[in-house]
Amino acid sequence: NAGVTQTPKFQVLKTGQSMTLQCAQDMNHNSMYWYRQDPGMGLRLIYYSASEGTTDKGEVPNGYNVSRLNKREFSLRLESAAPSQTSVYFCASSEEVWQGRNTIYFGEGSWLTVV
Amino acid sequence: EDQVTQSPEALRLQEGESSSLNCSYTVSGLRGLFWYRQDPGKGPEFLFTLYSAGEEKEKERLKATLTKKESFLHITAPKPEDSATYLCAVPGGSYIPTFGRGTSLIVHP
C-alpha cells in the first residue's frame, strides 16, 4: 500500500544544474500536485494536474516545469537550479480536484539543496 | 484573496494538559476544511475533513470542530507521541486547498 511515492528523497545540486523529481501514485487518483515547503512559509502549490493530459500553474511556478506522464506519474523539473529553490518538495494526489470532497494525500517529500 | 491563519505558531504542553489549536479562514463558499498532522522529515498525514458549521470529528485524543469562520483542533490529555506540526487547509475558489503555516505542538512527558 505505497500511496504516493517520490524519488529521490535527498539531492544536492549546483547552481545552474537541472534535475527531475519523480512522483507516482497507486490510488487511481485523477489529480496530482507539487508543493514546496519552506520554514515560515507553509506549503505552497507549484503546479497541479487536474487530470491526465492537463497541467496548470499554482502559486509559485517560476523556475519549474511539470509533465503528467500518465495517470500515475507526475514529474517536476528544475531546468536551471537556483539557491532559492532549496526546499522540501511534496508530491500529492486526490481523486478529483473539481469535486467538493477533495482530500489530498501526500508523499514523504524530497529534500533539495542548491549550492 | 483566500486566507488561512493558524494560531498559535507553537505550543508546548505537559503530558495530560489539554488545549486547542485554531484555524481561521476567509474563503468564499466553504468546500470543506482539512486537518493534517506532519511529523519531522515526513509528509503531511490526513486527519479529518469537516464540511459544515457544527460538524465534529474525533480520532483518539483529537477532536476537530467547525464554525462559519474557524475550526478548532482540541487535544485532550495529550501524550508525547502527539508532538507534531498540525496543518489546516481550506479549498478556495480554485477548489485546491490553501494551507495555513501550521502549529508546532510539543508535549513534554
DSSP A42-110: EEEEEEEESSTT--EE-S--TTEEEEE-SSSBEEEEESS--GGG-EEEEEEEES-TTSSS---EE---E
> Grid coordinates standing for A103?
482530500
Q: What is the pLDDT of residues A50-103, one digit of tens each?
A: 999 999 999 999 999 999 999 999 999 999 999 999 999 999 999 887 776 678
Give me the amino acid identity at A63.
G
Best residue in A43, A88, A93 for a mutation probing chain B (most B CBs within 10 Å): A43
Q: What is the pLDDT of residue A1?
A: 61
Look at residue B68 in the predicted model and tell me its pLDDT.
86
- Residues from chain A contacting residue B48 (CB–CB below 8 Å): none
* Segments of chain B scoring below 50 in pLDDT: none
What count of Cα atoms within 13 Å lies in the side-chain half-sphere of residue B70?
11
Instruction: List the single residue in A with minimal CA-CA distance to B96.
Output: A97
Which of A100, A101, A108 shows the shortest C-beta gap to B43? A108
Is the CB of A105 less than 8 angstroms away from the CB of B46? yes
Q: Which residues of B touch A27 (CB under 8 A)?
A: none
Distance CA A33, CA B95 (A): 13
- Residue indicated by cell numbers 475533513: B49
When scoring B52, B57, B96, B99 by the number of chain A Cβ atoms within 10 A, the one with the most, hence best to mutate, is B96
